[in-house]
Structure 1
Amino acid sequence: MELLITAISLLCLSLRPVAASVPGLFEALNLYGASDFAAALQASPGLLDAAISGQFGTVFAPIDSSFSDSSQYPSRVPLNPKEEQIGWYHDTIAPLSWGNYTDPPDPLVVGTIDSKANLGGRNQSIVVNVTRTASSNTSSLRAHRAGLPLLLDRYGQPQLQWTSYAEISTGLGDVVHVVNPNLEFAKCGSTNGVLHIVDKYFTVPQLLSDTAAQIPELSIFTELLNTSCSCLKVTLDNRASITAFIPTNEAFAAAGITSSTKGAEELVQGLVIPNFLGYTPNLAAQPGPATTMNGSTLKIHKTDNVGPNKEYRQDFYVNDAKVVKPNIILYNGVAHIIDRLPSI
């Protein structure tokens, strides 16, 4: 297999780019301020062969300034297994780009090339949320003064100029922002790849218990896991493809729940849906009540709203509990933080 990959790599190196004006991947990484990430990819034979042979359709590359703030890539040669996994987590097979949407799409669940996940045979995912924001109508008025038609909205006012930006949900609830999107790079094959420069590294997803333990507002949930029967923590950490709804400390306190409350195991199991990867796009598509691990049901629904800057957003509810932080990517699924215990 290694000989085959090397042969393909050599063949791809000998091929002309799809378009002469489109740089190759490593040229593009150096050109757009991600030379440190280029060096990291080149420090792994597996990542290097995958890049050269055209396996990467989309690359989310951390900008060079993120290296000084990160301990995730402390070395260059050779990469240790965790560092190499981070490299795979930043890449997808299919090209992914977006524009200035009038009506942005639902969040996008994007499968990466990171295969180290307990998701029933699926690779690890990220969730990309593209939002539009109205900046100002200044450029519209300026264009009108220059002799171009003035675009008006339905109220007869100068049409606002829209911009779109993307936020990416990764492990531990870390959110990564795209700072320079939709840059093409030439790769082996008939189509170009897509490069997005991001402001920091993706955080590799961890177990549910480890994830909750590293988020301060979830400390009561962590205590419930640790004080219930020992098998519950192990079960949740090792069960493939779960969706967990985790109340905040304030939500538990409002319901009078503490780490010493009896029935912790039953309570926690009622917050976890097994065999369901409920990233927010999938939550919206949930056809009916979902059955939890203790046999109770949760009704999931969403509302479409417009924010203060006229940005489009979706709010999700689990029974009467609102999701206040969605898409915390787990090693074996996804978690959402909610503002109260769902009423049954």
Structure 2
Amino acid sequence: MLLHPQAILLLLAGITSPAASQTPPSLINALVASGASQFASIIQSDSEVLSLYLSDRVTTVFAPIDSCVGDSPLQERDLSASQRRAAAFQSARGTTTLETASRSLPGSSLETNDEAPLLDGRGQRIVIDTRPLNATSPTKRWASSAILRRQVNGTAQSLLRISSGLGKTTNVIKGDIPYDGGIIHITDSYFTMPQSLSATSQATGQTAFAQQLSLSNTTSTLDTTHSVTVFLPSNAAFSSFPNSTAPQQLVSDHVVPGTVSYLPDLRDGSVLTTQRGETLAISVRAGRYYVNGGLITQANLVLENGVAHVVDRVSLCLNCATKTQVLKPTPAPPATAAASSVSMSSIGLLGVLVYYVGKMVLA
């Protein structure tokens, strides 16, 4: 039986329409449909930013939801240099889905399109943190979906928790939205732009370390040093530390130059070398991260020139006559009673043996 031409057209339309409907929308249309129309307007307001977002350098977009941006229209058609950097900071160079981002512990870092001169031309990074909220006391269930998805303000689920500048956290509340150039994740706020070591120390409450920077006259130097990892002793740690160490020496023992080690880069047994040549050993115990025995209590404070981690210890030096090691290694556990008993028994038997051998020789 021959089909009528109109029937053939309808059949072809039925075959092709599902494929056509699966074509991802453009970036702007996808943002508007997902509740990020204000961010879409910001992107469109500046030709430089729009060109970036339409290029292959952007494959993952972190778009703030309208409710956190506000409804006031843009008064200018061109963004300032700092606004362009902030817009570029919201985009990543690799495609990252919720599944791939949540797969590893303690998380991963993503390179954004905010080019950072103090990172030697590399893009500034954001850090996905897949640890539980109480990172100083994790449980065996920390990688479960129930842990990775928590309530934010009692309304929206946090699908990913992301650290940016000043230790601020942004939550992905809607993810894996396809567009014709990649993936969109809707967030509950903008990422916070990274700042200097001194500004970050002050803003995150580590004022004692900031004071040491000032006393050592190293504030400006360390703020502009390329690619550093810094371990910031907390104020509580300083308050219990009989500080007789020169400020410059103390600061240099907490700064690791030439490397940027976010928490996902720190491995159990790895070793870092400080500015003064001291050795810092990393250990991971029950999901907690230690640096020469000092517990990292707040990780991934993204800096303009690297990253900082807060530690709970400023220990006495191991050998004050020659050099100071500020972060002290964890002491070995004491011998057990059973081990002590065996040791004493061995000594007793040896003494008896020596006694009888002596008598035989004298005889």
TM-score, normalised via structure 1 length: 0.74
SS in 1 for 2:99: coil
Alignment partner, residue 272 of structure 1: 255
CA offsets, 1:257-293, max 9 Å, x none? 4xxx6501100110011111110111127x6321101
- Counterpart in 1 of 2:213? 225
Q: Structure 1 residue 195 and structure 2 residue 184: aligned? A: yes
Q: If each structure's helix is expressed as a fraction of its own residues, which one has the higher value? A: 2
| Other structure's SS at 2:175 match | strand
SS of 2:289's equivalent in the other structure is strand
Deviations 1:282-337 (A, max 9, x none): 1127x632110111111112234xxxxxxxxx321101111111000000000001
Provide structure 1 residue ranges, at least 5 long, that are not aligned to the other structure. Answer: 1-16, 134-158, 188-192, 305-313
* Residue 103 of structure 1, CA deviation: 6.0
- Pick from 284, 287, 298 the counterpart of residue 280 of structure 2: 298
Find the partner of 1:62 among 61, 64, 83: 64
* Offset, 1:202: 0.6
- Counterparts of 1:166 and 1:76 in 2: how far apart (Å)? 33
> Which segment drifts farther, 204-213 or 91-100?
91-100
Partner of 1:333: 306
CA distance in 1, matches of 2:235, 2:38: 39
Structure 2 equivalent of residue 48 of structure 1: 50
Q: Which has the larger radius of gyration?
A: 2
Output the CA distance in 2 between the equivalents of 1:101 and 1:89: 18
Cα pair distance change 1:110/1:38, threshold 3 Å: same
Deviation at 1:29, TM superposition (A): 0.7
CA gap 1:302/1:50 in 2 versus in 1, 3 angstroms? same
Contact 1:207 1:331 in 2 (8 A): yes
Tell me, what secondary structure is at the counterpart of 1:200? coil
Q: Which residue of 2 aligns with 1:343?
A: 328
State the distance in 2 between where 1:100 and 1:245 align.
29
Q: Which of residues 276, 289, 292 is equivalent to 1:316?
A: 289
> Contact 1:39–1:76 (CA<8 Å) still a contact in 2?
no
Residue number in structure 2 paired with 1:98 = 98
Is contact 1:213–1:222 with CA below 8 Å preserved after alignment?
Answer: yes
1-structure distance, mates of 2:235, 2:101? 37
**Which residue of structure 2 aligns with residue 244 of structure 1?**
230
RMSD (Å) for aligned C-alpha atoms: 2.8
Moved more, 54-63 or 123-132: 123-132
Give 1:33's aligned residue.
35
Matches within 5 A, 1:146-157: none
Shift of 1:82: 0.7
| 1:163 Cα deviation after fit | 5.9
State whether residues 92 and 112 of structure 2, in contact with CA within 8 Å, keep that contact through their aligned partners in structure 1. Answer: yes
Partner deviation per Cα, 1:67-119 (whole Å, 9 max, x = no partner)? 1499xx98652211111100000111221112299964441111011113411
Partner of 1:112: helix, strand, or coil? strand
Paired amino acid for 2:61: V
Q: Which residue of 2 aligns with 1:121?
A: 121
Cα pair 2:65 2:188 within 8 Å, conserved: yes
The structural deviation recorded for 1:52 is 2.6
**Conserved in 2, the CA contact under 8 Å of 1:220 and 1:252?**
yes
2:204 counterpart of 1:215: yes
Letter in 1 for 2:42: A
In structure 2, do the counterparts of structure 1 residues 131 and 34 end up closer, same or farther at CA, with 3 Å as the change threshold?
Answer: farther
Residue matched to 2:242: 256
Give the whole-Å Cα distance in 2 for the aligned partners of 1:69 and 1:327: 32
What is the percent sequence identity of the aligned residues? 31
Supply the AA of the counterpart residue of 1:45.
S
CA contact (8 A) 1:279 1:327 kept: yes
How many positions carry a matched residue from both structures? 280
Calculate the TM-score normalised by the size of structure 2.
0.71
Q: 1:160, 1:128 → 2: CA distance?
A: 15
Q: Output the CA distance in 2 between the equivalents of 1:119 and 1:21.
A: 38
Residues 101 and 132, structure 1, Cα contact 8 Å, conserved in 2: no
1:183 aligns with 2:186: no
Amino acid of the structure 2 residue aligned with 1:280: L
